[in-house]
Amino acid sequence: MKKYIVEFIGTFFLVLTVGNCVISDKTGPLAPLAIGLSLGIMIFAGGHISGGHFNPAVTLGVWLRGKCDTKDVLPYWLSQVLGAVVAAGMVKVLQGHGGAGMEIDMGKASLAEFVGTFALVWVVLNVATTKANANNSFYGAAIGLTVTAMAVSLGPISGGAFNPAVAVGGVVMGIFKVSSLVVYLVGCFAGGAAAALVFKSIKADG
């Protein structure tokens, strides 16, 4: 149970940061940095307990890679989505509703979410699940900075969720349209799965 609590807490603070930064519109160019830092910090805090996924696409990739028990996949997803929804509710209390949701080109946004999530899960698998990097002290920073880089480069196209739980929270907050949710679900899960399959196909862990 403690793993699921950690996944709830980490996802909660990630989505809380996303919502407050995006809806307040006062952080400007610092928003991607704040979001990446919040993820990295939560990974440093909880990674030794749950692995610090805080993202259903990461859980899928780590499971396909063979480093997450099958029995944990659905509880992780539930904990992550619940954390995102609770955080979204708090953001609405603090900041109000985000509005009608951003307009996106569904095709371009799907590709952006696929690529960004691929990068994120690829980094997670290489820095947090390999023998070569076992017991390292940098994996939280590497993962958080990946989100920052992808958010800056791809965020204007798709909103830069790279995380189905963030997307669900974004819909609740009004950052994303309900009709766009399929973009984030398909793009993110496909990107995470592809990263795991490439990782395994090239035997990245030796």
> 11-25: buried (b, 16+ CB within 10 Å) or exposed (e) per residue?
bbbbbbbbbbbbbee
pLDDT of residue 155: 95
> What pLDDT is stored for residue 26 in this prediction?
72
d(CA 195, CA 199): 6
* Domain 2-201 CATH assignment equals 1.20.1080.10: yes
pLDDT for the residue numbered 135:
83
Residues 128 and 199: their CA atoms lie apart, in Å, by 13
Residue ranges of domains in the chain: 2-201
Distance of alpha carbon 124 from alpha carbon 139, whole angstroms: 8
pTM of the model: 0.95
pLDDT tens, residue order, the chain (206 aa): 899 999 999 999 999 999 999 998 777 889 999 999 999 999 999 999 999 999 999 999 999 999 999 999 999 999 999 999 999 999 999 998 878 889 999 999 999 999 999 999 999 999 999 998 888 889 999 999 999 999 999 999 999 999 999 999 999 999 999 999 999 999 999 999 999 999 999 998 86
